[in-house]
Structure 1
């Protein structure tokens, strides 16, 4: 789940420099081969139930083997109906290993809804289009391609660099749970599915988000049941109508706005850069988190609403069993992203209170999972600083809290500090991850290659 929401405290407040001050472009041949790799894996329909994640894992494994990785260091492991890829770039053992996390699966895309075939990468108007081209296959391609380049150049790292690619991050993260237990000696993890650079509307760099934390991911089911009956004999206790009424109440409800010293500092920084009505609202909120008008303005922007509060939204519906029968059961799936420090049970209880219908049961689906923020390591920050400078010298870096869950959630819980360090630089209005016509600027391939090359060589020198 790619997310670019910026939160937590401001780490650097350097002057923002335009694209004119970025470093020299990456090698054209490397950009071309990486773009081809990206197109090839986008073409693999790695949606749950399609059986294509193992195909993609094997494809990447063969790329790594052909690039000089030893057979014993590249493993594709089938897991339920998906697969995991683990590949070890061996170092000299001077330092503990570092992990690189990405996920190979993508969310569903219905071709008839898209302007273009979602599983064919199409390049036009300065963008690459396709499902997963941003979330998360871009950084899959960038990291694999970077390691192959380093292997070709004979780079000997001071530590093992281990790829840990999961196969079901967009669903239940079962493979992630397994991977997170396999490397107790790892010093830290770099995640391509978090963090990244934010561009302004005119494509100038604004800030780089270093993901150090994420909100708790929790799913609830709201269910209404009754005896049903023949459709020719309507009754007031119709399960679908009752569920619809409950959802209307939930839709109208907003959880209280919350803040920390770190989130207020972040809004203060971002507000100065954005300016205008939204920027002014951020500054007012930073000074007074009880400012209702400021809260309303920030919450109206999908890019920042997740940094303000716990959010819950209906995502799926099911109900009824026959077209000529009254429904006996109607259920809605509600997904919540819970502000750090808020108990999952308190959110479930609040939903039930808001609905205020004793016939509507609110139950947790699966098991919510939370982990503490990762401590900000100086070596990681300094490496990110140099990687960001390779594209936009002096660009401010702000630790970020993702509104969505990533694989880092489980690695953090396993005691492995994890950092979202995507090589992507995108405008908020171009973030169509999980949506129609997902796209990423063509320029981000070259920028991403420079980013990952500097990042990895700095942390493994």
Structure 2
């Protein structure tokens, strides 16, 4: 973990690289990005009473208009206690192969943070030892601020894209995702979408870059509720058909069920990159899995590793149980929640039926809960997207592997992929894994990433809007 100013400066040295790279920095945009980030953290954009997401959206609109966007090209749409923002950077309409817009997505909301639990006030930006601390410092007001500053900098320098660039900022990505669904409905006819809340690079403990990932797919989130009911009775007269026991037996059978191994174009690329740097025994198991996704020995070995199991296919796990109504009564009801992360292309209903079959309990009901998620296919590995990102990354870190990946979590991208818009997580931030504490206590990000992020965004946006 980079916990000192010295190591932060190491990362900054990597960011600057050669004199040519240093000359491409944009000090005005960098200063604005930091100001936006500090001021953005102060908005408590948390779902529920006192949600300041609409106020944060108003602040961003004011900033974009002051930076050269037409008033009518920046729209805030209220949705319940939150809102979403749409900002259109108008192009010439002369893009090669057509002028469909390029979408950029991110979110303004953050997860809850209790000040009493934090070392510092989560809604006051604090800069220490080369890091900025605060809720949203990593997820995701950092990338949001650098992207907004980049778009304003492009306006300032007179850049005219050949296609429209449309910035879409959702207001409830961390909860119901209603705003994202509405935006995806509005913009189904786009060239592609760049999600700055996904992807990114990894540094080792010495600050050396190891790889850069592009999120080209994500698993479908689904919750299933298992329920067993029973007439119950007095606990002094136990019966064999006990609701809690029946549920427990069904859960044990579900635990034993093995979903098949699955691979797509995105995960094949990430597995190949993993094999290239793995020690021989691990690399051999990965290559066996690539040759045959249902090689039992290889699948078991990979699924034994928490960092790899999510990439092997659909996973389901019990996460909550509830049963009984009194300490001296036989249970009349017992329920359990099964949380699944479903491999792209696998229907949710198919997984529900698989779980029902695995449970092998006719008295059990199994229903799909409304999780605010939607199934989405993997996006194709577009040569133009890969080239644009690779060029931008290699301008900073020559030769670093650029690897496609599948997210096991959920992001705004899934709503656009479900509408047929190829979507990619392309955040330029390089961090040491585990250092940011996103969603956790004392969330932070290194300030050394601001300058290279703006250079990267300028490079990628200009390449994809010719």
Q: The TM-score by the shorter chain falls in which range?
A: 0.7 to 0.9
Please tell me whether the aligned partners of residues 344 and 378 of structure 2 are also in contact (alpha carbons under 8 angstroms).
Answer: no
Q: Contact 2:126 / 2:132 at 8 angstroms: preserved in 1? A: yes
- Structure 2 residue 382 is matched with structure 1 residue 383: no
Q: How does 1:20-419 map to 2 (within 5 A)?
A: 21=17, 23-24=21-22, 26-28=25-27, 30-50=29-49, 51-95=51-95, 96=99, 97-227=101-231, 247=251, 250-251=254-255, 253-260=257-264, 263-275=267-279, 278-279=282-283, 281-287=285-291, 289-316=293-320, 329-366=333-370, 369-419=374-424
2:430 corresponds to which residue? 425
Unaligned stretches of 5+ in structure 1? Answer: 1-17
CA contact 1:84–1:164 (8 Å) conserved in 2: yes
Q: Secondary structure at the match of 1:190?
A: strand
In structure 2, the residue matched to 1:11 is none
SS at structure 1 position matched to 2:145: helix
Worse-matched range after superposition: 315-324 or 413-422: 315-324
Counterpart for residue 7 of structure 2? none
Q: TM-score, normalising length from structure 2?
A: 0.82
Report the CA distance between 1:446 and its aligned residue.
2.5
1:162-201: CA deviation from partner (whole Å, max 9, x where unpaired): 1111112222322112111223443222111222223334
CA distance in 2, matches of 1:331, 1:104: 35
Aligned residues: 444
What SS does the corresponding residue of 1:181 show, helix, strand or coil? helix
- Closer, same or farther: CA 226–100 of 1 in aligned 2, 3 Å: same
Question: Aligned with 1:84: secondary structure?
Answer: strand
Q: Which has the larger radius of gyration?
A: 2
Answer yes or no: is the 8 Å Cα contact 1:390–1:450 preserved in 2.
no
Q: Distance in 2 between matches of 1:156 and 1:45?
A: 35
Cα deviation, residue 289, structure 1: 3.9
SS of equivalent residue, structure 1 residue 452: helix
C-alpha deviations, 1:354-397, integer Å up to 9, x for none? 44444442211127522333333333232212221232123222
CA deviations 1:289-348 (Å, max 9, x no partner) are: 445454344334433221112112344556667889876555443331111332322211
- Structure with the greater relative contact order (CA < 8 A, sep ≥ 6): 1 or 2? 1
Residues 1:443 and 2:448 aligned together: yes
Distance 1:441 1:331, change over 3 A: farther
Secondary structure at the residue paired with 1:386?
Answer: helix
- Cα displacement (A) at 1:228: 5.9
- Measure, in 1, the Cα distance between the counterparts of 2:340 and 2:314: 7
CA contact (8 A) 1:19 1:204 kept: no
SS in 2 for 1:406: coil
Shift of 1:52: 2.1
In 1, are the aligned partners of 2:269 and 2:403 still within 8 Å (CA)?
Answer: no
Q: Quick check: 2:216–2:266 contact (8 Å CA) kept in 1?
A: no
The SS at the match of 2:306 is coil
Q: CA RMSD in A?
A: 3.3
Report the 3-state secondary structure (helix = DSSP H, G, I; strand = E; otherwise coil) of the residue aligned with 1:163: strand
1:115 positional shift: 4.8
* Native 8 Å contact 1:206 1:273 kept in 2: no
Give the match's secondary structure for 1:92.
coil
Change (3 A) 1:148 1:257: same
Distance 1:371 1:383 in 2: 24
Distance 2:334 2:81 in 1: 29
Taking a change above 3 Å as real, the CA distance of residues 49 and 181 of structure 1, as seen in their structure-2 partners, is same
- Of residues 331-340 and 257-266 in structure 1, the stretch that sits farther from structure 2 once superposed is 257-266
Are the equivalent residues in 2 in contact too, given 1:264–1:285 (CA < 8 A)?
no
Task: Assess if the C-alpha contact under 8 Å between 1:217 and 1:336 holds in 2.
Answer: yes
> Structure 2, unaligned stretches of length 5 or more?
1-13
